[in-house]
Structure formats: C-alpha cells, structure tokens
Amino acid sequence: MSDSEEDSQDRQLKIVVVGDGACGKTSLATRFAQEAFGKQYKQTIGLDFFLKRISLPGNLNVTLQVWDIGGQTIGGKMLDKYVYGAHGVLLVYDITNYQSFENLEDWFSLVKKANEENDIQPVVSLIGNKVDLEHMRTVKADKHQRFCQENSLISQFVSAKTGDSVFLCFQRVAAEILGVKLNKAEIEQSQRVVKADIVNYSQDTVARTVNPPRSSMCVLQ
Ligand SMILES: Nc1nc2c(ncn2[C@@H]2O[C@H](COP(=O)(O)OP(=O)(O)OP(=O)(O)O)[C@@H](O)[C@H]2O)c(=O)[nH]1
C-alpha cells in the first residue's frame, strides 16, 4: 500500500473502558458515541462496542473503537482478552462511590498485566465520573490527582449525564496515543461544544419525542 493510500484511511484505535459496575462506563460510551444518556441502569453483561469517528488537529481522522467492559467481568477469565492490545484505557470511577475509586488499583493492575508482554503500553486516563453530583462527592480531588501523578495517568473529570468534558476525555486519549498536541483553544472548544449540548439536553427531557438537536461536536476545527 502506498503512503498516500495509507494516509487516506482512518486510523482505528482500540479504547477500553473499565471500572466497577454502575460507575457509568456504558453511559460515558453512549454519551460519546451517540450523544444520548439513559437514567435507567442496565448492567452490561460481558462487553459492548461503540464506534465513533473524530477529527484531530491536522485533518487527522480517527475511528475510536470503544470497548465498554461490564464491571462484573473483574473476576472472569475473559477480561485479559478484552483489555489486550488496547491503545487507550479509561479507568472510570464514580466520584460519589469511594469503593469504586479504591477498586481502581485492581482494574489498573489487570490492565498492566494483560499488556505486560506488549512492546507498546496503552495510554491510560483516570476518569472521575458523575461530577453533576458534586454535592455527593466522597472521593477528594487530591486523591484523584495523586493517583494520576503516581502512575502517570491523564486526569479527567466528566459527567456522562450532562455531557461535561466527555468528548474531551476521549479526544485527549486519542491525541496522546497519536502524539498529537491539542492546544488550549482546541481543548476549550471541545469543552464549550459539550456545554452547549447540556442546554439542549435539558430541553430534550421535557419533550422526549423531539429529536435532539444535532450537536456540532464533529466540527472540531
Ligand atoms: N447522576 C449521574 N448518573 C450517572 C452518570 N453516569 C451514569 N449514571 C447513572 O449510573 C447508573 C449506572 O450507569 P452505567 O453506565 O450503566 O454503569 P456501568 O459502569 O456501565 O455499569 P456495568 O454495566 O455494571 O459495568 C445508571 O443509572 C446511570 O444513569 C453521571 O454522570 N451522573
């Protein structure tokens, strides 16, 4: 394949989302890939897949293959296989559930173990989800930051419910994997677009039959 043919194809990145049951992994993936959120909890059995194409600076199109791993797989035999070969990993916990933060040690160890024989290690990001429930927070932000510093992780706080910083957290991981630098303006733009989505979201809940307004999230540059 010539260079130009190769360039014209999207790169595919495997992004694995792990963490305790009910911390919001499916909600995060659904918010990112489908711009939707469901209040009802439906446990993921095994895993689910989502695909989403994004653009990074420099006209770089990337398709993210999001592997949403059920929280109950932690004791199972398949987990290693799901995590193997990931380019990026989102370690998700619920900021209102201290246990979900403590259990990240186990999730992180499994991720490292599954990839220990690979030449390239995945880019890992620590995601504190449910920041819309700030008043119920039980995991202090400095604990989160310390975990990131000690393990060289990308730090991110999000809300799958409101959409706050959800696009940005996937975008940052993809950019880091591909060695693309996001400048301040690009980061702010992603955040701003997501915030615009929040306003639309609350209107949608009032009139559920109305199609959600198209987000301009895909128009990043
Ligand atoms: N308030 C709030 N609730 C959330 C948020 N994200 C998820 N939830 C709720 O938390 C519950 C669990 O969310 P899921 O996305 O199903 O959790 P999960 O981590 O995929 O769970 P497993 O499938 O068991 O691994 C659901 O009731 C969601 O509506 C958030 O950002 N804020």
Q: Residue 93: phi, psi to the nearest 5?
A: -135, 170
Domains annotated on the chain, with CATH: 11-190 (3.40.50.300)
Report CA(26)–ligand 1 centroid distance (Å). 7
Report CA(21)–ligand 1 centroid distance (Å). 8
User: Could you write out the DSSP letters of every residue in 119-175?
Assistant: SSPPEEEEEEE-GGGGGG--S-HHHHHHHHHHHT-EEEE--TTT-TTHHHHHHHHHH
Closest listed residue to residue 108, CA positions, set 129, 86, 133:
86
Whose CA is closest to atom 1 on ligand 1? 130
What is d(CA 139, CA 156) in angstroms, rounded to the nearest whole number?
A: 14
Q: Does the pLDDT value for residue 210 go beyond 80? A: no
Q: Does the pLDDT value for residue 57 go beyond 60? A: yes
Closest listed residue to residue 71, CA positions, set 38, 36, 45:
45
With pLDDT > 90 as the criterion, what percentage of the chain qualifies? 66
Q: Does the pLDDT value for residue 123 go beyond 90? A: yes
Q: Ligand 1 atom closest to Cα of 133?
A: 1
Q: Ligand 1 atom closest to Cα of 30?
A: 15
pLDDT at 184: 79
Whose CA is closest to atom 22 on ligand 1? 21
Determine if ligand 1 sits within 6 Å of the CB of residue 165.
no
pLDDT tens for 66-94 read 999 999 888 788 999 999 999 999 999 99
Determine if ligand 1 sits within 6 Å of the CB of residue 52.
no
Closest listed residue to residue 81, CA positions, set 107, 115, 42, 128:
115
CA-based torsion, 156, 159, 162, 166: positive or negative: positive
- The answer to whether ipTM exceeds 0.90 is yes
Q: Which residue has the higher pLDDT, 212 or 162?
A: 162
Q: Which residues contact 187 (CB under 8 A, 6 or more apart)?
A: 168, 172
pLDDT at 8: 52
Secondary structure percentages of the chain, helix, strand, coil, to 5:
45, 20, 35
pLDDT tens for 188-201 read 776 654 444 444 44
Determine if ligand 1 sits within 6 Å of the CB of residue 161.
yes
Determine if ligand 1 sits within 6 Å of the CB of residue 39.
yes
Report if pTM > 0.95.
no
Report CA(68)–ligand 1 centroid distance (Å). 12
Determine if ligand 1 sits within 6 Å of the CB of residue 97.
no
Q: Does the pLDDT value for residue 185 go beyond 70? A: yes
**Look-up of token digits 């540059």:** 221
